[in-house]
Structure 1
Amino acid sequence: MDGQQLQKIADDFAAELPGTNHEHRSDPDWDLYKVHGKVYMLMTDLPGRPVVILKADPDDAAALREQYTHITPGYHMNKTHWITVDGADTISEKLVKELVTDSYHLIVSGLPKSKQSVDPHTHNRRA
């Protein structure tokens, strides 16, 4: 998949997650995806490549960076807790959706229970 397909899949999927708010900033050109004011996904274009930036568990982030050459430390974010994904044949639609879901759950689990739009421990978890 190319970077534009990657961003479209991530955008379409994020739109389905409860409580998601999409915000576009034009200077610089960023799309932010938030739940209760907390960012869980960003999209922008780096020179020559559209990317998606997601929060990730530090252990998972390290493993993903080792397994996929197109997953790198978070661009302009904490390199331990965020990853950058760019489009490549090794990045599947299923993986993109899993990474978006994981990022969303990490943010929701840090919210007070009264603000959690879903139970992050049971919502859409992989079997």
Structure 2
Amino acid sequence: MNIEEYREYCIRKPGVTEGFPFDSNTLVFKVMGKMFALADVELFRTINLKCDPDRAIQLRESYEGIKPGYHMNKQHWNTVDTDGSVGDKLLYELIDHSYTLIVDSLPKKLKEELANYE
């Protein structure tokens, strides 16, 4: 996966916006205002993704390229290498998982708004 494929995959999900709230290099994707993915656009060595805590532990034990979230809550976020050590199929699945976790945690009103995007 390259930065263009990553961006295109994230931005086409319903209710997603993108921006640079932290600095000019860190591209952040949010669904209904809540962050679900971020990466450095210049280096694109890793992606930070939200993850179920139990699954996060399992993934970290199974894949060398998945580590506790860098500068994030390490219980709920993973930093995933984009160097090929984690296959694209799993990367896409983990992006979907992160997006779904955020959508599932949205208040009812925002979930109703999001339904209008689909």
TM-score by length of 1: 0.79
Matched-pair contact (CA < 8 Å) for 2:27–2:41: no
Matched-pair contact (CA < 8 Å) for 1:45–1:51: no
Amino acid at match of 1:115: L
Relative distance call for 1:69 and 1:113 in structure 2 (3 A) is same
The answer to whether structure 1 residue 97 and structure 2 residue 98 are counterparts is no
In the alignment, the residues of structure 2 paired with residue 103 and residue 9 of structure 1 have an alpha-carbon distance, to the nearest angstrom, of 17
In the alignment, the residues of structure 2 paired with residue 99 and residue 54 of structure 1 have an alpha-carbon distance, to the nearest angstrom, of 7
Deviation digits for residues 62-107 of structure 1 (CA, Å, limit 9, x no counterpart):
0111111011000100001000011233312211111001000111
TM-score by length of 2: 0.84
Matched-pair contact (CA < 8 Å) for 1:9–1:93: no
3-state SS in 1 of match to 2:45: strand
The answer to whether structure 1 residue 63 and structure 2 residue 63 are counterparts is no
Relative distance call for 1:43 and 1:94 in structure 2 (3 A) is same
Which residue of structure 2 aligns with residue 53 of structure 1? 48
In the alignment, the residues of structure 2 paired with residue 114 and residue 79 of structure 1 have an alpha-carbon distance, to the nearest angstrom, of 29
Q: Which runs of 5+ in 1 are unaligned?
A: 119-127
More helix by share: 2
- Find 1:44's aligned residue among 34, 40, 47: 40
More strand by share: 1
Give the length in aligned residue pairs.
Answer: 113
Q: Percent same amino acid among aligned pairs? A: 39
RMSD: 2.1
Matched-pair contact (CA < 8 Å) for 1:10–1:100: no
Deviation digits for residues 24-82 of structure 1 (CA, Å, limit 9, x no counterpart):
24735211100111101111279x76210000000111011111101100010000100
Q: Which runs of 5+ in 2 are unaligned?
A: none
